[in-house]
Structures are given as structure tokens and as C-alpha cells.
Structure 1
Amino acid sequence: MNSFDLTEFAPALPPIEGDTRARLLEAGLRLFAAHGYDGVSTRQLASTAGVNIAAIGYHFGGKKELYHAVVEHQVAETSPIIGPVAAGVAAGIEACGNDRQALAQIVTSFVGGMLDAFTRNESMQLRAALIMREYAHPTDAFEILFAGRIEPLHKTITALVAAALDRTVDDPLAIVRAHAVIGQILIFMLARIVLFARLDWKSYGPDELQMVKNEVTQSVLMSLNLPLPQSDGE
């Protein structure tokens, strides 16, 4: 079965250290994710980075340019991962032929990899918060995120959906169904506080995450009319 390691979508956050530019990028990620572009001042950025406020203008030109650089940095971190994953999905689909059980295994592995990445740590939570702010209130930096990170991943999932539903990758139904699949995964990161409160969980431990994987995978497979994994007793 194909295995898709997407955990590098959430590389661990380094401490705010190193050269001035790197410190400002890390401070920018934390502050823009938490407060949005308009909620952050250049003074806050400089203070969090531990640098002189003039360094923002020197290295980036201003707050807007620093924000763009933060977004571009997020894309640059994950772009080397998206290509191989997309190629792996395409190769897996081709190898499956008409074997729907094999396609179901690819979908299962991919969904598990996504959930591993999106529930992993503070790093992904911050990055997701930044992206969600662009979804809700897009700036001119949205196109950077869309072209470099969002669209390639969306197209990869659409390819899986199209193969399962025997449709083309540009079929509106395939694209909408792919969007629904993404939603089923993201909700367990974005609204995790609701689930934790309902179940008195503190975090996603191994058992909790496995339960989530089982339920989401079953839901996705059913939405794609793919066979469910057989239990040990079958």
C-alpha cells in the first residue's frame, strides 16, 4: 500500500533565533497567525523578534512586505513535499487500474497522512491559523498561498476523487467532492477544542488519533463509493 508522509507540512517551529531576517520571519508567523495582518504592529514584530524596528524596513521594506515574505516562506517549506506526494498519488492511481480495493488503500493512506500532518503540533496550528485568516479575509497574499500550496494539494485530492467516481479531474462534482473530503480532515484541527470538550480529551494521543482516522477514513471511502477495510473477523 502506498504510504504518504505529509508530516513535513508541519515542520517544528524553531526558536526565534539566528540572523535578523530569520527572527523576523518566525515572529511574523506567530503574530500574524494569532492576530491577523491588521492586528500586528511593526513595534510588536520587532519586539517579539528581539531586533531593532528599523530592521523591518532594511530587510523587507515594511510590514506588508514582511507579511508576504512570511507567506512565501510557508509555501517554500512545503513545495518540495507536494510534488512527490502528487506524483505518488498519480502513480498509485495508474497502478490500481480497475482495482477499487487498491484505490481504497491509497485513499486510506492519504487520509491518514493528512490527519497526521494536520493534528500534529503547534506548528501546524499556527500555519493553519494564518491560512484560515486568508480564507476568511483574503489579502493580495492569498494568490501566493493558493498557487504554491492550496491548489496543488486540492488537485491531488481531486485526482483521487475523480478516479474513484470515474470522472475527469476538471469535473465540477469531483472538485466539490474533493473540497468536502478536505473539510472532513481539517475540522479535526480547526475545531479540535469542541471535540476535546465533548470527550474530555487533552490532546490527540495515539488512541484518540486512531479513532479519528478510522471514522474519517470510513466516511471518505463511503462518499467515494469505495470498499471499506475488512475487519479481522471477515
Structure 2
Amino acid sequence: MGVPGGGEREAILRSAMRLFAALGYDGTSLDQIADTAGVETTAIGGHFGTKRELYLAVMDEANRVIGTVMDSRAAELRDAPPERRPEALRRYIDDHIDVCAKYPQIPALWMHRWLADATDIDLDPVSTRVMIQHSVDSVDLLARPAGADARLVMYMLFWCINGFSLGGVLDDAGRRRHADDPEMLDRFRAHMHQVLGRVLRLPDDGPGPLP
């Protein structure tokens, strides 16, 4: 996930990301990370110091990846003329869905935090808050005229995308279909367009794609 290819440090970071996403911070040991990365446990201390510092590096990388998408699309939405904002919002939704589908470790890491994992570790409140605030401010351009709460609209989007990325949907046959199922991914994408469109009272059919 954006982590450069070779090198011991990168192998440790990639392994830690996978394990923290799967087991949570509290459920993962340094020995497990070292074994997965194919290094000695002491090597982790040499590169990251402590388990806490390694976790912070993992979360920084996850937030960098999704923050790049969120900031770019939030800026596009903010700068779009009024008639182009519905399509800019759909682009924001699509790219957010796509990055979580491509990197399910990101929603998994945050889901663990929501379930009280690593409660003794405070992430950088400034960078996280700024990343979210950019999106809230941009969506507020559509939310305010509709009488909607921009912050809750954005958190609803985050919750839905994270839930779908990790849990998928049970179909009529009882099969669980995830974001790696193209048909279900398209259905979820269209559904989120519809949900936010109705919450924000947007026209059903916006103008063509942004250039």
C-alpha cells in the first residue's frame, strides 16, 4: 500500500500493516510481525523503536493513502461550479470506495480503532481532523442548501464504505459478496450515489463527467 518495494524496513511495515488490520494492535505481537516479515524481532526496534511507534507509522501510511484521495476530490468538489458539484461528489464517493476496495487494510485498521483497539495510543489529532474537515467543508456546499448536516453525511459515507469493504453483502443464495465482486461493487457504488443524492436533494442525473 504505497510502501516502497524492497528493504527490511518496508517488509516490517507491510507485515505490521497486514497483521494490525487482521488482528488489531492489541492482538498482534512483535514476534508475529518479525516472523511474517522474515526478520529478527530486534530488527523492528532498530527501525521503529517500539511497537507503538511501528503502529503510528502504519497508521500514518494508511492515512496518507486515503488522505491523498480525500483531499484531491474534496478540493475538486469545493472548486466546482454549482452545476458541476453533484458529479464532483460522485467522483469523491467513487474514489473513496475504490481506495478502500483496493486497500481493505485501511478500513480494517480504522474498524479496530472504533472497537476500542489501541485505546492508549492517540493518533495525530491535527492531521486526522484536517483531513476530515476538508471533506466536511466541501460537502457543506451541498448540505447546507438541503438542510443536511455535512459532518454526519460524511461520517455516514465513511461508515457505509468501511462496512461494505469488510463485511460485504449476503445475496439471495446466502453467499457473501465483497468489493472484489465487480457486480456488487457497482451496485454498492450506485446505491451510495443514490443515498447521498437524496440526503442532499440532488438531481438524479447530473451533467457529464468532469474533465
> Could you say whether these structures have the same fold, taking a TM-score greater than 0.5 normalized by the shorter chain as the test?
yes
Q: CA deviation at 1:203?
A: 5.5
The answer as to 2:97 corresponding to 1:119 is: no
Q: Check conservation: 1:119, 1:188, Cα contact below 8 A.
A: no
Structure 2 contact 74–134 (Cα < 8 Å) conserved = yes
Q: What amino acid maps onto 2:200 in structure 1? A: L
Q: Percent identity?
A: 25
Amino acid at match of 2:58: V
Tell me how far apart the structure 2 counterparts of residues 188 and 78 of structure 1 sit (CA, whole Å): 16
Aligned to 2:163: 187
2:155 partner amino acid: H
Unaligned runs of 5+ in 2: 207-211
* Inter-partner Cα distance in structure 1 for 2:120 and 2:188: 35
| Alignment root-mean-square deviation, CA | 3.0
Cα separation, 1, equivalents of 2:23 and 2:122: 17
In structure 1, how many angstroms separate the alpha carbons of the residues matched to 2:101 and 2:122?
23
Q: Distance in 2 between matches of 1:20 and 1:126?
A: 20
- Tell me the equivalent position of 2:123: 143
> What is aligned with 2:209?
none
Task: Give the 3 Å change call, closer, same or farther, for CA 140–172 of structure 1 in structure 2.
Answer: farther
Equivalent-residue separation in structure 2 for 1:176 and 1:89 (angstroms)? 17
Matches within 5 A, 1:188-227: 188-192=164-168, 194=170, 198=174, 201=177, 204-227=180-203
Quick one: which amino acid aligns to residue 182 of structure 2?
P
Compare relative contact order (CA 8 Å, sep 6+) and give the higher one, 1 or 2: 1
Length, aligned pairs only: 204
| Structure 1, unaligned runs of 5 or more | 1-10
- Asked if the contact 2:73/2:88 (under 8 Å) is kept, the reply is no
Where does residue 132 of structure 2 map in the other structure?
154
Shift of 1:176: 2.0
CA deviations on 1:71-106 (whole Å, 9 max, x unpaired) are: 2232344444443333222111xx22xx4xx32222
Give the alignment's TM-score, normalised by structure 1: 0.72
Change (3 A) 1:76 1:210: closer
**Would the alpha carbon gap of residues 69 and 177 (structure 1) be closer, same or farther in structure 2, given more than 3 Å must change?**
closer
Distance 1:197 1:19, change over 3 A: farther
Secondary structure, aligned partner of 1:119:
helix
